[in-house]
Structures are given as structure tokens and as C-alpha cells.
A = this chain, B = another copy of it.
Amino acid sequence: MEELVRYGEKFFDELEIAIYRKRDVSVNIELNELSLSSVRQRTVAVIRGIKDKRLGLAIIDSENKEEIKKAIEQAYKMAKLNSRDEQWDSLPGPGKYAKPKKIDTALKEVSPEYFVELAKKGIKLALEEDKNIIVAGGGGGVEWRESQILNSQGINVVQKGGGAYIYFELVGMKEGNVTPGIFDLDAKLSLNLDVEKVVENAAQKVKWAYKVEKSRTEEAKVIVEPWAISMLLSFALFPAFKGERLIKETTPLANKIGESVASELLTIYDDPFHELSLNPVIADDEGVPTRKNALIENGKFKGFIWDNYWAKIYGTESTGNGVRSLATGGISIGMHNTVIENGKKSLEDMIREIEHGYLINSFQGAHSSNPDNGNFAVVANPAFIIENGEVKGSTVFMMSGNIYDLLNQVYDISKEQKVIPFMGTVVSPSIAFENVRIAGK
């Protein structure tokens, strides 16, 4: 591929070639049946070239060298027609990468059959567990990805790896009552997925959900589980960490570095190398070395994350957070594996200590949160009622407010963490908040 960079230098002052090979193997479940086995594969090459501060971008589903040469020429024709971007500085130069994590090559070779067996086992377990349960949906598979990022500044980094996942959505039907769909999942960098645990967790919640009660409008303690936390923070909080928003003045965290923005109990960082990470990249999509970036430490805001373009405009360095969309070829600022640090208490003990409160499994409407100011309005569904330290039934309620206020109401964090494959991956414990205003629905 290096000769293609040389070829591109005939046209451009600087250029970058990024090549991705993806292979996704999966099995889908629908209404207790195996509905689809699939093997999807794709090769994508993205050319980004700059001539006189004019940018040309081309994307092509091929790694054939002649095709890539054509894409380079195409990108050049576009660059010539575009205006100068006076803010353009330069592509990143080489850096020192961490040692890559050992790869489980079984992930690359696996056939859908492996997941047919896992899925069938999960369906059987769920139906045996409770005859009122239907496995409404689910799936399992492997996502394998290989990439090579090269640029004319000397970057040339090759990476490969993959992860496996399995999930089930269970619905209970009893005495005319239909529970909401209850999801649970396991995801790892190996094929060693714990189907029993996933089914057991989801089936337990279906049992809780049979008994539905109206919720009051009140202030109460709520424990928010990992899936719900990931959704809410991904829309209401995480975008505020992006340096582009500092420059565009759309983050409430401007001028807040070093200041307290959340409870002292809360520590959040982006760390591709965390032991539960499904995304152990040593370089971002611009070839910049990745690292652990502190975001919030004991409640204090630690700093923004950057890609190459916005970092240089601001006069700082990329934090290794350039992430490429394979739909548009464009780079934007993104997290690789966001970790919310865990606490010391088990979720079970956290529930046991609550006299009256709620356990929230999932939020609806989190995507309409406003990261410019942190305002959110979500529906907790399903949520479970806790009375005298025990879960007593399920309910639905609204929660609205400001994420920074909420993050100051944290009073406990579970020791168990779960990895959620959602906008990159998020490693999250369950978090307990006090004096949360909820509105019965």
C-alpha cells in the first residue's frame, strides 16, 4: 500500500489511505425460532487528500490497487474544485503505539453454526425457565475487523481483532398481561459467552415484570442499570467532552477543567485497553496512538478529547479520538471504550439497603437529550419497584432534568460492571441516585 501513498503524492501535498476489512457472522432469533444465519463481509478504502488546503475525499468498496488509484485521482479532481480550508493544518505524524492485545483467532474462523447452537441453547433454557416466556428476539455473532491506516507523514499502522456477542429479548405473557421486552446480553473478545447467565438475568426480570403497578409522583432513590446509564450518558453527557464543541461553543463544560461537575464518587475515562473493552485499538482512525483519557475524576472535569483536525485548530494535540464513519468516510471525534469506574458494593446489597425506590432497566427517549446544556426527559421502562430491600413489581415513569444535577445526586456505585456495545463500547456499573424527582405515568 505504501506505493499508493507515493502515487497520491504526485497529486496532493498530503494524503491518507485507510483500508478496512470487515467480516460479521451472525444468527438471528425471532419468536422462539432461528430466523437468519448470515455472513456479511465488506472491504472499504477511504482516500483523504489535501492540495493547497483544499480537501478531497473518496470512498470505494475495494482494496484493488488500480481501483484505489482511480479513487485517488477522483479525490484530487474534487479537491481542485473545492475552496481552501484556511483552518487546515496537517495530517498527523507517527507516534508510539501500545503493544496490541493478544487476538483470539478462533473469532476469525468461526462459522454461524457455533451461534446456532448457542441461540438454540438459550431459547431452550428460557422456555424451560418459565413456560409463559417467549423469546421475542435475539441474536449472536462475531464482528471481525482488520484495518490499515497510512499517510504521507509516515504513519502506517495495521490492526486486527474481533468480538463476540449474544443477546436475548424475553417477553412474558401471563393472565392477559404482556410484559415489556426485557433484554440481556454478554459480549467478549472471545467465544466464551455465558448464555445461562444472560437468560437467567432476563428471565428474573420478566418474573418481576408480571406484576405491574402505577408509580407515584415523588422524590425517591433510583438505581440505574448499565444499559440505561449508557443510553442516557451517551446522548446527554458524552458529546460535551468533544473538543469540536468547545470551539463551536456548544458544550456546557467550557472553562470547567479542574472544576467539580459531578459527585466525588464518579470517575469516567475513555480507555480502549480496559479489561472489559470490546474495542482494544492501539491507533485511532487517523493512525494516532490511543491512550487512556481521563474525562471526570472524582467528580472533577479533566479535559476534552480531540481528533487531529479540531486539535490543531485549538492549538493542542489529538488525544487519539478520531473515529471514521464507513458510510461517509468522514472523521469525527468519538470515544473508543468509555469506562465508568465501579464502586465496592454489590448491586444486590444496594437494592437491599433501599426502603422505597426503583431499579431502572432501560430508558426510552434518551436520544432527544440536549448535550448543549445537559437537559433530558426520558421514560423509565421497564423499571422495577423496590420495597424494604426487595423488588416487588414493575412500573413506568418519567424522569426529566439536567444530567449535571443528576450526576451530583449519586450516592453509590455497584462493583459489577457490564460492557454495552453502544456508540463504541461503554463499560458501566449500576449507579444509585438519591432525591430523584419522578413523575408517575
Contact = CB atoms under 8 A, between A and B. Distances in A.
Task: Sort chain A's interface into a size bin.
Answer: 35 or more
A132 interface: no
A143 interface: no
A311 to B, nearest CB: 21
A111 B112 CA distance: 37
23 contacts: A33-B82, A33-B83, A34-B78, A35-B57, A35-B328, A35-B330, A36-B58, A36-B328, A36-B329, A37-B57, A37-B58, A37-B71, A37-B74, A37-B75, A37-B78, A38-B329, A39-B58, A39-B59, A39-B61, A58-B112, A74-B111, A74-B112, A78-B116
Contacts of A60: 38-40
A144 to B, nearest CB: 13
A42 B39 CA distance: 13
A111 B77 CA distance: 12
B81 A120 contact: yes
A400 interface: no
A59 B38 contact: yes
A34 B81 contact: yes
A41 B61 contact: yes
A60 B41 CA distance: 8
A62 interface: yes
B61 A36 contact: no
Contacts of A82: 33-34
Interface in A189-239: none
A113 interface: yes
Contacts of A113: 74, 77
Given A39-B62, A41-B62, 6 more contacts: A27-B78, A35-B57, A39-B59, A39-B60, A40-B61, A70-B111
Interface of A: 27-28, 32-42, 56-62, 67, 70-71, 74-75, 77-78, 81-83, 111-113, 116, 120, 328-330
A228 to B, nearest CB: 24
A38 B58 contact: yes
A77 B34 CA distance: 10
A181 to B, nearest CB: 18
Contacts of A116: 74, 77-78, 81
A61 B25 CA distance: 11
A70 B37 CA distance: 11
A35 B57 CA distance: 7
Given A74-B111, A74-B112, A113-B77, A36 B59 contact: yes
B35 A61 contact: no
A139 to B, nearest CB: 11
B61 A42 contact: yes
Nearest to A22: B61
A269 B41 CA distance: 38
A83 to B, nearest CB: 6
Contacts of A74: 37, 111-113, 116
A81 B112 CA distance: 14
Contacts of A71: 37, 39
Nearest to A34: B78
A223 to B, nearest CB: 33
Contacts of A36: 57-59, 328-330
